[in-house]
Amino acid sequence: MSAVSAGILGAVLLACGGEPSPVELYGYTPEPADGLPQIDQALTPLTTACSWDSGTGIALVTVESGETAVIAKRLVDSAVIVNGVACGAATTTTLKKVSVVENSSATGDETVVLDFLNGLFAVGSSAGVGFDIDLGGSGADTFAIRGSSSADRVTLGASGFTTNTDTTLDITFANIDDIVVTLSGGNDVFSAQGSATAGAAYTGDNLVVFGGDGNDTLTGGDGDDTINGGAGDDIIAGYAGDDTLNGDAGNDTFNEGSASNGADSITCGAGVDTVNYGSRSNALIITMASGADDGENGEGDDVKSDCDNLTGGAGNDTITGNALANTIDGGAGNDTLTGGAGNDIFPQGSADDGSDVIAGGIGNDLVDYSSRTSTLTVTMGDATANDGESGEGDNIGSDVEWLDAGSGNDTITGNDADNSINAGAGDDTVSGGLGNDEIFGGTGVDTLNGDAGDDTIDGGGDADVVDCGAGEGDIGFAVANGGTRVNCEL
C-alpha cells in the first residue's frame, strides 16, 4: 500500500471510529533513494515476533531466510516497531538495546533497515551499545541505516557506527555483506574514516551512501565505496579504494586528497561541479571526458564529461577541458591548460604560480590575472613564454579571447581575435591588435590603443590617452580630467 492510499484508508477508519491511520502511526516518508522497504508501506511481519525484556530493556529481533526487518519509531506513541508491529511494550525512551540476529538455519539474503526518519532512539548511552547486528549464516545480507529529517552526523569505523555527537559506539555489526547509509533532509555529515570511538577507517568494499537533499559532507572509507550526493551542494571525498562518486543535483565538490588514492569514477551530475586535486604535489594528467586515465601516473581516475571545473595541484599538470564552460585552475607548477568547446576561465592566482601554457580552444575564453598586484607584461598569441609577471614565463595562446589584468602598471597586447581586455587598476598600456576589441582601462592613467578593427574603448574616467586606431566604427568614451581621444568615430 502506498503512503497516499494508506492516508485515505486511515482517514476513513478514523471517521468510523476505527484504529489510527498508518499515517498517524508511522508518518509519511519520502521515497528513499536506497530502494529498500520503508515504514509507511505494508510490510510482512517477521516469522518470529520481536520480543522485549522490560527488566533488561533489551529487544530481540530475529530474521529468518530471505526476510527484511525495518526497525523504526512509531509517531503516535514512540513505540519501537518492526515491520509495523510493536515490539512488546518497548518505546524509544525505555529501550536500552536492540539485538538483531539471523536464525542459524537461515540460508537466504536477509536485510535489516534501521530507520530513524521518525526520530532517533534514546540509545547509545554509557550503559552500553545501542544496536548489535549479527547476520551470521549464508547468503548476502544487508544492513541499512536511514537518517532523521534533521542534520545528522554519522561516523563508520572498523568497530561500528556512532551517530550524531555522542562518544558511545551506538551500532556494532558482524557478518554483513553490504552496508547502505541513506541520509535525509538537513546538512548531514557522514564519514567512514572512523574515530576514537568507531575505530580505524572502514575498509570493506561494500559501502553505499546516499546523501539526501541537504548540503552534505560525505567521506568514504578505505575500500571501494559508492557515494551519491543527492540534491544540494555536497562535498564528496572517496579516500582510498576504487570509488564510484556521483554528485547528482547541486553544485558539488569532489576532493581527491593529497596523493593517489585509487581509481575513482567521478560523475558530477547537474549543477556547476568542481573536481579538486588542489592538495596534490605530483604531476597530474587529466582530460575532463570519459576515460579511466586521469590523475597521477597510474592512478586511473575517470573524470566524466559532465564535470564543469577542475583544480590542479603543485606539480606540472596537464589538464584538458570538455564541451562545458570550464574553470581550469592549474595551481602552482608549470602547467599545460587547454579549454574545450565552452567559454572557459583560467584563474592565475594572486602571484607567480609557474610557467603555464594556456590554449583556450573553441569559445570565448578568459585568462584571469585580476588578483595580481605586481606588474604584468602579456602578449597574447605570440607563441612565446613571456607572459605574466617578470620571469613567470606564461604562454597565452592565440585562441584566448579575453584577459583580465591586475592592479599593477600592466602592459597588455591582444591577438588577432576579438579581444575583451580589462586592464584593472594601475597605469596600464593596452594594445588591442587585430580584431574588433573591447578595452576597459579601469582606474589609473592608462594608454589604450585599439589598433586595427572596430574597437570599443572605455578609459575609465581618468586622464587616459585613447587611440581608437585604424578601424571605421571605433567608439572611445569615458575620457576625462585632461585625457585625450584620437581616431575615434564616436
Instruction: Look at residue 352 and tell me whether its pLDDT is greater than 80.
Output: yes
Q: In terms of Cα–Cα distance, which of 192, 291, 281, 279 is closest to 238?
A: 192
Alpha helix (H) ranges present in 137-221?
none
Instruction: Look at residue 179 and tell me whether its pLDDT is greater than 50.
Output: yes
pLDDT mean over 300-306: 98
Report residue 476's pLDDT band, with 50, 70 and 90 as the boundaries.
Answer: low
333: left (phi over 0), alpha (psi -120 to 50) or beta: left
pLDDT mean over 382-395: 98
For 18-43, letters b (16+ CB in 10 Å) and e give: eeebbbbbbbbbeebbbebbbbbbeb
In this prediction, residue 92 carries a pLDDT of: 86
Amino acid at 40: D
Average pLDDT, the chain: 89
Number of Cβ within 10 Å of residue 351's Cβ equals: 12
Report residue 277's pLDDT band, with 50, 70 and 90 as the boundaries.
Answer: very high
In this prediction, residue 376 carries a pLDDT of: 99
Contact yes or no for 468/451 (Cβ under 8 A): no
CA 274 to centroid of chain Cα atoms = 7
pLDDT mean over 261-275: 98
Contact yes or no for 313/330 (Cβ under 8 A): no
In this prediction, residue 482 carries a pLDDT of: 59
pTM exceeding 0.85: yes
pLDDT mean over 149-171: 89
Amino acid at 7: G
Q: Return the higher-pLDDT residue of 315 and 166.
A: 315
The CA-based angle 166-171-176, given to 5 degrees, is 150
pLDDT mean over 160-180: 90
Domains and CATH numbers, the chain: 343-490 (2.150.10.10)
C-alpha distances in Å from residue 475, one per residue of 190, 262, 422, 461, 470: 57, 56, 16, 15, 12
User: Three-state SS across 77-107?
Assistant: CCEEEECCEEEEEEECCCCCEEEEEECCCCC
Q: Return the higher-pLDDT residue of 119 and 18.
A: 119
pLDDT mean over 36-50: 88
* pLDDT per residue as tens digits for the range 414-459: 999 999 999 999 999 999 999 999 999 999 999 999 999 999 999 8
Report residue 11's pLDDT band, with 50, 70 and 90 as the boundaries.
Answer: very low
In this prediction, residue 424 carries a pLDDT of: 98
- First-last CA distance in the chain: 74
The CA-based angle 407-412-413, given to 5 degrees, is 170
Residue 344: partners with Cβ closer than 8 Å, 6 or more residues away? 321, 325, 326, 327, 328, 360, 361, 363, 365, 366
Instruction: Look at residue 4 and tell me whether its pLDDT is greater than 50.
Output: no
- Residue 1 carries which DSSP code? -
Amino acid at 324: L
Instruction: Look at residue 290 and tell me whether its pLDDT is greater than 80.
Output: no
d(CA 364, CA 421): 12
Residue percentage of the chain with pLDDT more than 70: 89
- What φ, ψ does residue 460 adopt, rounded to 5°? 100, 0
pLDDT mean over 472-488: 65
Contact yes or no for 38/29 (Cβ under 8 A): yes
In this prediction, residue 393 carries a pLDDT of: 99
Instruction: Look at residue 256 and tell me whether its pLDDT is greater than 70.
Output: yes
In this prediction, residue 14 carries a pLDDT of: 32
Residue percentage of the chain with pLDDT more than 90: 73
242 burial type by CB count under 10 A (0-12 exposed, 13-18 middle, 19+ buried): middle
In this prediction, residue 12 carries a pLDDT of: 29
pLDDT mean over 155-168: 88
- Residue 295 carries which DSSP code? B
Residue 244 forms beta bridges with which residues?
226, 265
d(CA 317, CA 277): 10
d(CA 372, CA 348): 8
In this prediction, residue 8 carries a pLDDT of: 27
Contact yes or no for 130/99 (Cβ under 8 A): no
Range with the poorest average pLDDT among 264-278, 401-415, 437-451:
437-451
Report residue 358's pLDDT band, with 50, 70 and 90 as the boundaries.
Answer: very high
In this prediction, residue 18 carries a pLDDT of: 43
d(CA 207, CA 178): 6
In this prediction, residue 5 carries a pLDDT of: 31
Instruction: Look at residue 9 and tell me whether its pLDDT is greater than 80.
Output: no
Amino acid at 52: W
Contact yes or no for 477/441 (Cβ under 8 A): no
In this prediction, residue 75 carries a pLDDT of: 87
In this prediction, residue 115 carries a pLDDT of: 92
Instruction: Look at residue 126 and tell me whether its pLDDT is greater than 50.
Output: no
In this prediction, residue 273 carries a pLDDT of: 99
